[in-house]
């Protein structure tokens, strides 16, 4: 299938084409960049929700209930569920689909499992691009689900407009861990399995933690507050510090609290667009995307240049013999590139 | 370009269809496929043919492995094949069947488009080898 027909078919709502486009994105098949470029102008209509949390927190089950609630409202849903893959064989068992019991047979819920194919931190690029494909396809809501541990996952959930972090009850130590990284990215904390003992305590601990964060002068939300703060005074009345992370309680298994959770998401999205944060987020996202692509492309350019010069081994030998040092080698290898760039700029 | 470098991985859906609760075989094969470096999506138990088709199409799997020990293969498997056809997915999905399939029923399944049947006594190695060699080029 040629790229143009693939894009046409995807825009026309053909599931097979959407699935194939995502495969090409995942595989980085030749021509996938052209595909994503063509999709870009058709994006921007979907609302993206990120769900993260420790393994067994109930993410997949909650996503299932969210999807079916959105379907009841008459909206279409896309889900991208990311599972880890083995660093040794590259193999993976992608098990999130099993929990999608409420939506089997409903083609308007497009569920796609992706594995974290280790290399190059390319997963966040692939996720961003897959979200674009679902967006261009015309999905109203797109849910990105991933295990929340480590920088990679944080990068991934940043593709979302609203980031929800699931916290199971009784995870006092987990909250300690959350403080370090995930706290900053959560717009909504979901205490799932709220029927279990200790749920109240977890809610209380979270509330305390959020309070502490607000008291800290270093507090910032998505790092974009400096920008937002300056014009906040104009339209923001009571809630002058921006968005305060909300806490909701759910029992994903029974669906309890899911409505409230979705309403909180709606509130957050409303706040995003009123405060201008939505646009700021989009700007940040595109900035990050362009930077990532540039980094990968220049790395590839360097790789080619290195290969043409016979690889790094010879340089390493020289460094080992103390004939030279890593900085000098880097300068040496960069020099021709810098010359080319300077020349092109002058001549341009 | 690094971002154009192809990173292809074989994707498989291991599917249990119909009222058949024996999933040990499916689990074992899912694990073996994973260890062979494939990405495996497991359907879970008691799925309808439509569910399987939905999963196979959305996940865009190269290989669909149907595990069936209930004896209902002659109705369920063709339904899945028809469903794949409906979404233009029949041509480039490798469909294999594992489980208890009487010899007399095999020809019919092959005619419906099943590429191979792995009955009792089949080894993991031969199954994985078959998948590696026959996974469709895309």
Q: Closest CB to A28: pick one of B5, B40, B51.
A: B5
Q: Closest CB to A16: pick one of B36, B48, B57.
A: B57
**CATH code of A268's domain:** 3.40.50.300
Strand ordering across the sheet containing A109-116: A109-116, A77-84, A141-147, A47-53, A162-167, A188-191, A246-249
* Contact between B95 and B47 (Cβ < 8 Å): no
Quote the radius of gyration of chain A (alpha carbons, Å). Answer: 23
The whole-number pLDDT of residue B4 equals 47
Say how many domains are in chain A.
Answer: 2
B11: left (phi over 0), alpha (psi -120 to 50) or beta: beta
Nearest CA in chain B to A294: B3
Where among A226, A253, A275 does a domain terminate?
A275
Which residue from A154, A256, A263, A243 is spatially nearest to A199, judged by alpha carbons?
Answer: A256
The answer to whether residues A271 and A321 belong to one domain is no
Coil, helix or strand at residue A249: strand
Q: Which residues pair with A79 in a beta bridge?
A: A111, A143
CA A21 to CA A10: how far, in whole Å? Answer: 8
Domain ranges of chain B: 8-134
Q: Which residues in chain B touch residue A300, judged by CB atoms under 8 angstroms apart? A: 1-3, 5
The answer to whether residues A332 and A209 belong to one domain is no
* Contact between B21 and B72 (Cβ < 8 Å): no
CA A261 to CA A181: how far, in whole Å? Answer: 22
The whole-number pLDDT of residue B109 equals 95
The whole-number pLDDT of residue A122 equals 58
Chain B residues near any Cβ of chain A (below 8 Å):
1-9, 11, 30-31, 33-44, 47-48, 50-51, 54-55, 57-60, 87-89, 138
The answer to whether residues A119 and A250 belong to one domain is yes
Using alpha carbons, list the distances in angstroms from residue A48 to A15, A77, B60: 20, 10, 22
Number of alpha carbons in the 13 Å side-chain half-sphere of residue A297: 7
CA A195 to CA B135: how far, in whole Å? Answer: 46
The answer to whether residues A327 and A239 belong to one domain is no
Using alpha carbons, list the distances in angstroms from residue A82 to A31, A79, A142, B39: 24, 10, 13, 12
Give domain status of residue A109, yes or no.
Answer: yes
Asked if the Cβ–Cβ distance from B55 to A97 is below 8 Å, we say yes
| Chain B closest-CA separation from residue A120 CA (Å) | 9
The answer to whether residues A317 and A241 belong to one domain is no
Q: Which residues in chain A touch residue B9, judged by CB atoms under 8 angstroms apart? A: 26-27, 90, 115, 117
Q: Which domain holds residue A200?
A: 43-275
CA A340 to CA A345: how far, in whole Å? Answer: 9
The whole-number pLDDT of residue A146 equals 85
For residue A57, what is the DSSP state? S
* Contact between A77 and B26 (Cβ < 8 Å): no
The answer to whether residues A235 and A326 belong to one domain is no
Q: For residue A189, give both structure tokens.
A: 């904390």
**A343 CB burial (10 A radius; 0-12, 13-18, 19+):** exposed
pLDDT in tens, chain B (138 residues): 344 456 678 999 999 998 888 889 999 999 999 999 999 999 989 999 999 999 999 999 999 999 999 989 999 999 999 999 999 999 999 999 999 999 999 999 999 999 999 999 999 999 999 999 999 877
Asked if the Cβ–Cβ distance from B31 to A97 is below 8 Å, we say no
| Chain B closest-CA separation from residue A40 CA (Å) | 17
The answer to whether residues A242 and A337 belong to one domain is no
Q: For residue A40, give both structure tokens.
A: 């870009």
The residue of B6, B8, B9, B50 whose CB has the most chain A CBs within 10 angstroms, and thus the best one to mutate to test that interface, is B9
The answer to whether residues A60 and A191 belong to one domain is yes
Residue pointed to by tokens 């693939």: A6
CA B53 to CA A315: how far, in whole Å? Answer: 54
Q: Which residues pair with B30 in a beta bridge?
A: none
Give domain status of residue A304, yes or no.
Answer: no
Query: How many interface pairs between A and B have CB atoms less than 8 angstroms apart?
Result: 121
- B76: Cβ contacts below 8 Å, ≥ 6 apart: B17, B18, B49, B66, B68
The residue of B8, B15, B50, B60 whose CB has the most chain A CBs within 10 angstroms, and thus the best one to mutate to test that interface, is B60
Nearest CA in chain B to A98: B44
Give domain status of residue A5, yes or no.
Answer: no
For residue B137, what is the DSSP state? P
Q: Does domain B8-134 have CATH number 3.40.30.10?
A: no
The answer to whether residues A204 and A331 belong to one domain is no
ipTM of the complex: 0.88
CA A211 to CA A209: how far, in whole Å? Answer: 5
Coil, helix or strand at residue A210: helix
CA A331 to CA A326: how far, in whole Å? Answer: 9
The answer to whether residues A235 and A136 belong to one domain is yes
Low-confidence ranges of chain A (pLDDT < 50): 119-120, 219-239
Coil, helix or strand at residue A8: helix
CA B99 to CA B105: how far, in whole Å? Answer: 12
**B24 CB burial (10 A radius; 0-12, 13-18, 19+):** exposed
* Contact between B58 and A22 (Cβ < 8 Å): no
* Contact between A43 and A132 (Cβ < 8 Å): yes
CA A242 to CA A292: how far, in whole Å? Answer: 28
Residue pointed to by tokens 């939300």: A221
Q: Which residues in chain B touch residue A104, judged by CB atoms under 8 angstroms apart? A: 47-48, 51, 54
The whole-number pLDDT of residue A104 equals 79
CA B109 to CA B99: how far, in whole Å? Answer: 13
The whole-number pLDDT of residue A39 equals 95
Q: Closest CB to B47: pick one of A19, A104, A111.
A: A104
Residue B50 is inside which H or E element, if any? helix B49-59
The answer to whether residues A234 and A334 belong to one domain is no
Q: Which residues pair with A129 in a beta bridge?
A: none
Using alpha carbons, list the distances in angstroms from residue A177 to A197, A203, A209: 21, 16, 12
Q: Closest CB to B60: pick one of A22, A30, A120.
A: A22
Which residue from A136, A141, A130, A134 is spatially nearest to A43, judged by alpha carbons?
Answer: A136
The answer to whether residues A260 and A333 belong to one domain is no
Whole-structure pTM value: 0.85
Q: Which residues in chain A touch residue B50, judged by CB atoms under 8 angstroms apart? A: 105
* Contact between A272 and A266 (Cβ < 8 Å): no
A234-268 pLDDT tens trace:
333 344 568 889 999 999 999 999 999 999 999 99
């Amino acid at each position: 299938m040629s790229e143009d027909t693939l894009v046409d078919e995807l825009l026309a709502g053909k599931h097979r084409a959407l699935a194939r486009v995502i495969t090409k994105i995942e595989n980085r098949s030749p021509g996938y960049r052209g595909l994503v470029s063509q999709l870009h102008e058709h994006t921007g209509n979907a609302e993206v929700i990120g769900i993260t949390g420790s393994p067994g927190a109930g993410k997949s089950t909650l996503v299932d209930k969210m999807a079916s609630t959105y379907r009841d409202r008459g909206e279409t849903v896309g889900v991208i569920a990311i599972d880890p893959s083995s660093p040794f064989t590259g193999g993976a068992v992608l098990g999130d689909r099993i929990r999608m019991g409420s939506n089997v047979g409903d083609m308007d819920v497009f569920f796609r499992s992706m594995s974290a194919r280790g290399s190059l931190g390319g997963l966040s690029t692939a996720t961003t691009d897959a979200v674009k494909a679902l967006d261009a396809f015309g999905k109203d809501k797109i849910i990105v689900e991933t295990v929340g541990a480590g920088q990679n996952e944080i990068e991934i959930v940043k593709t979302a407009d609203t980031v929800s972090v699931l916290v199971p009850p009784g995870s006092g130590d987990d909250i300690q861990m959350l403080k370090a990284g995930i706290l900053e990215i959560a717009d909504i904390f979901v205490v799932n399995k709220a029927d279990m003992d200790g749920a109240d305590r977890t809610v209380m601990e979270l509330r305390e933690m959020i309070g502490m964060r607000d008291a800290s002068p270093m507090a910032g939300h998505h790092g974009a507050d400096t920008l937002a703060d300056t014009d906040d005074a104009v339209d923001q009345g009571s809630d002058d510090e921006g968005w305060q992370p909300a806490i909701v309680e759910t029992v994903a298994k029974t669906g309890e609290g899911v409505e409230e959770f979705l309403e909180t998401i709606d509130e957050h999205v409303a706040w995003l667009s009123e405060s201008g944060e939505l646009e700021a987020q989009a700007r940040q996202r595109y900035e990050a995307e362009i930077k990532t692509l540039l980094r990968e492309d220049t790395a590839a350019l360097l790789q080619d240049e290195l290969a043409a010069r016979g690889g790094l081994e010879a340089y390493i030998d020289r460094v080992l013999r103390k004939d030279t040092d890593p900085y000098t080698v880097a300068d040496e290898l960069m020099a021709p590139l810098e010359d080319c760039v300077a020349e092109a700029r002058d001549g341009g | 370009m690094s971002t154009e470098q192809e990173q292809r991985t074989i994707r498989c859906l291991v599917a249990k269809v119909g009222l058949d609760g024996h999933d040990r075989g499916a689990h074992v094969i899912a694990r073996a496929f994973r260890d062979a470096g494939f990405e495996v999506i497991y359907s879970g138990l008691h799925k309808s043919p439509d569910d399987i088709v939905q999963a196979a199409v959305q996940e865009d799997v190269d290989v669909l492995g149907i595990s069936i020990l209930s004896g209902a293969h002659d109705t369920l498997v063709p339904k899945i094949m028809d469903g794949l056809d409906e979404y233009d997915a029949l041509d480039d999905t490798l469909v294999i069947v594992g489980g208890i399939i009487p010899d007399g029923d095999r020809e019919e399944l092959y005619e419906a488009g099943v590429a191979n049947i792995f009955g009792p006594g089949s080894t993991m190695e031969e199954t994985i080898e078959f998948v590696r060699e026959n996974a469709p080029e895309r």
